[in-house]
Structure 1
Amino acid sequence: MKANRGQIEKALDAPPSDIRFFLLHGPDEAGSTALARRLERAMGPGAERVDLDVATLREDPARLADEAASFSMFGDKRWVRINGMGDESLPAVTALLEAEAAGNPVIAIAGALKATSKLVKLALDHKGCMAFISYQPDAREAEQIAMATARENGLRLPQELARRIVDLANGDRALMGIEIEKLVLYLDAAPEQPREATAEALDALSANNPDSDAAPLVNAVLGGDLRAMHKELNNLAEIGAAMASVIRPLLTRAMLIANIRADFDSSGRLEAAVESAGKAVFWKEKGLVTRQVRLWDATGIARVIQRLAQAERSSRGGKGLGDLLVRHELLAIARQAARERA
């Protein structure tokens, strides 16, 4: 059944026994992930989490129902999580709902799905399911989300700084979370020892480097041009730019591709999907962005965003190992794009 925000939050905070399957989908995948964490908190720190991937469910559709009915080896609560679910998992979800018993809640983060998705239809029609679609928040909602996220981590974030973070992240929840996490670590904040966020701290952590233009590297990595990528990385090294300076623009472009891809998958009209992105796509780069959207499907670009977020965390050490890890991730992403081009 379809749930509104209040209903899904209430159900995830105290999972009802008659709901076997929670489907969180929509273009705001970071919002879906944040909702999934509510279930994790509700299950408690001692709960056993079982992570299943789509490939496993495709090969063994009965596995999901089996895991949902199994008891924890340690006698604790148990729950099941799946990332990147789509219509290929329909047999597994059907088996879960038709099973005689379940017991352990199952939650899936599906990303943007088509309106005609059979998985969405099943989740909306079945009384044992709850489905919720997450949309990108507007500017005011994004500011409130940033302030709430900071508060949960022991950081008092004034509204003007929340607005700056929203602007830096283009309103994307995942990127806002990264910026806030950096502030929390920088200021040594924690729920038991709150700290006040300052403009000086945000300035100090800004990954923007006025001496470097990351656009060529962004296009090389996400376009699968390995030769150009190595050239741009060497250029950055020559001017002494930290690898952290390229992560934010790469994440911003990846999120843009994800949003356009979701629109394209829904409408089937790529040019219209690119146009609907408006000023987020610089007019000189429309051709490049269009080609990148063709290269990356929804699942692939979601993985890219995850890898870049991890790379951003690795880069916090500045030079040395952090930079090497970032380079490794960029190479892996570029190689995948190159394979898609072939």
Structure 2
Amino acid sequence: MKLAAGRVAATLDRPDPSVRFYLFSGSDSSTSRLHAQRLLGALKAEKVATSVAQLKSDPAWLADEAASISMFGGQRLLWIEPAGEDILPAVTALLDLPSAEAPAIAIIASTLRKDSKIAKFADSRPGAIHVASEPLAARDLVAAILELGRGEGLRLTPQLAERVAEEAAGDLMLARLELQKFALYADAAPDRPCDLDESVVDALGIDQAETDHSRPGDLALAGDLHQLGAELVLLEASAIDAIPVVRALQRRLLMLVPLRARVDSGQSIGTVLGSVWRDKAAVTRILPRWTSARLAEVMVRVQKLERELMLRPVPPSAALGELLMQLARAAGR
């Protein structure tokens, strides 16, 4: 079933156990990823990532995994990103199961044609839902950011929400990361909301911190071991907090994932890079070095590091430096 925009929030917040497959498509890939994350939270599930390559080589894997019971008893969400038409045999096998323990989602970072087989399948098959996301109008984008802010315990004025949208270049996943950072700073949460002050955005927003904090991650993703080594020495000497560097790296990955998906769908790297307006020089160095599957793996590792830095007494500079050097060596291969 293809969902109308007005039904998306309620459907994702209260998942129907009979739905086994969610297809998120459209040119606004940040909103598609936000929808997928919303479903993940509503299910209180563990994300189990797979790839198109794996499903092409073993179309039965998705159904087998969906039918199996988790070793630790928790809910799982099978996650295919970036996806494409090639996943149809695997998804068909999933919906043909008599019963399933885990649903699956697929994110396709482009608008699907009317003759798309995977879209027709998701639109018409019981047990499947299709959400197509196109870029939001300015008014709708501000409303979405106001809602995201409420979810983090932040009350924003429409003017401040518009500023957050502009600094995030309309990317709702990036805006959400920013709001999470502001909420952490303000000690805000849904059960103890507070007003977001413009001075907080001045101090912590993307424009203020992005250049210095993004440089280590950009050097790592570009495979520049020599300059990265010097940068890590500087970070250690300056006692710069590791968390902003990790979050700048997350923002860069969120920018790269949909660009790489467009390359995978058949567009040339030159055409894709032509649409980049922010940090084009860095993206030009990085994008050819990484596949979609490797970017997805890096995102998981960076998220894990962020949790470790925030929740456990891991030496921040050592843990961050180790991860960045591993990324640089991988990029240089």
TM-score (norm 2): 0.76
Question: For 1:62 and 1:215, how far apart are their aligned partners in 2?
Answer: 40
For the 8 Å contact 2:34–2:173, the answer to whether it is kept is: no
Whether the aligned pair in 1 keeps the contact of 2:46 and 2:76 (CA below 8 Å) is yes
* 1:20 matched to 2:20: yes
In structure 2, the CA distance between the partners of 1:175 and 1:13, relative to structure 1 (3 Å rule), is: closer
AA of the residue aligned to 1:197: L
User: How far, CA to CA, are the matches of 1:195 and 1:155 in structure 2?
Assistant: 5
Shift of 1:239: 4.2
* C-alpha deviation, 1:181, in angstroms: 1.7
In 1, distance between residues paired with 2:210 and 2:262?
35
Q: How far apart, CA to CA, are the structure 2 residues paired with 1:137 and 1:315?
A: 34
Question: Residues 209 and 182 from structure 1, CA distance in 2 versus in 1: closer, same or farther, beyond 3 angstroms?
Answer: closer
Alignment of 1:212-251 (within 5 A): 213=212, 217-247=216-246, 249-251=248-250
Count, aligned residues: 328
Q: Matched residues in 1 for 2:29 and 2:181: separation?
A: 21
Q: Kindly report which structure 2 residues correspond to 1:20-59, keeping only aligned pairs within 5 A, or say none.
A: 20-26=20-26, 28-40=28-40, 51=48, 53-54=50-51
Q: Deviations over 1:97-126 (max 9, x none)?
A: 233x22556231425268587645543454
Question: How many Å apart are 1:216 and its aligned residue?
Answer: 5.4
Q: Please give the alpha-carbon distance, in whole angstroms, between the structure 2 residues aligned to 1:211 and 1:172.
A: 15
Gaps of 5+ in 1: none
Counterpart position of 1:290: 284
Q: Is the 1:220–1:226 contact (alpha carbons within 8 Å) kept by the matching residues of 2?
A: yes
Q: Deviations over 1:276-331 (max 9, x none)?
A: 22x3254xx2xx533422222233334444544555566669x9723333223322
Residues 53-72 of structure 1: CA distance to partner in whole angstroms, max 9, x if unpaired? Answer: 34875675445335545678
Pairing partner for 1:107 from 101, 104, 108: 104
Aligned pairs for 1:1-342 (under 5 A) are 1-15=1-15, 19-26=19-26, 28-40=28-40, 51=48, 53-54=50-51, 61-66=59-64, 68=66, 80-84=77-81, 86-87=83-84, 89-99=87-97, 101-102=98-99, 104=101, 106-112=103-109, 115=112, 119-120=118-119, 122-124=121-123, 126-137=125-136, 139-206=138-205, 213=212, 217-247=216-246, 249-277=248-276, 279-282=277-280, 285=281, 289-309=283-303, 311=305, 321-339=315-333
Secondary structure of 1:132's counterpart equals: strand
Provide closer, same or farther for how the CA distance between residues 17 and 335 of structure 1 changes in structure 2, counting only shifts above 3 A.
same
Structure 1 residues 56, 267: closer, same or farther in 2, change over 3 A?
closer
Letter in 2 for 1:199: E
Change (3 A) 1:166 1:331: farther
The answer on whether the counterparts of 2:173 and 2:254 sit within 8 Å (CA) in structure 1 is: no
The structural deviation recorded for 1:196 is: 1.8
Distance 1:337 1:314 in 2: 24
Q: CA deviation at 1:265?
A: 3.4
Contact 1:8-1:132 within 8 A present in 2 as well = yes
- CA–CA separation in structure 1 for the residues paired with 2:128 and 2:68: 19
Identity %: 31
Please report how far the alpha carbon of residue 149 of structure 1 lies from its aligned counterpart in structure 2 after TM superposition: 1.5
Q: Give secondary structure in 2 for the equivalent of 1:220.
A: helix
**Residue identity in the other structure for 2:155:** R
Pick which of 111-120 and 161-170 moved more.
111-120
Aligned partner of residue 2 in structure 2, secondary structure: coil
Q: CA RMSD of the aligned region, Å? A: 4.0
In structure 1, distance between residues paired with 2:331 and 2:284: 14
Q: Aligned with 1:22: secondary structure?
A: strand
Native 8 Å contact 1:147 1:159 kept in 2: yes
Q: CA deviation at 1:151?
A: 1.0
TM-score (norm: length of structure 1): 0.74
Distance 2:213 2:301 in 1: 18
Q: 1:335 to 1:220 in 2, by over 3 A?
A: same
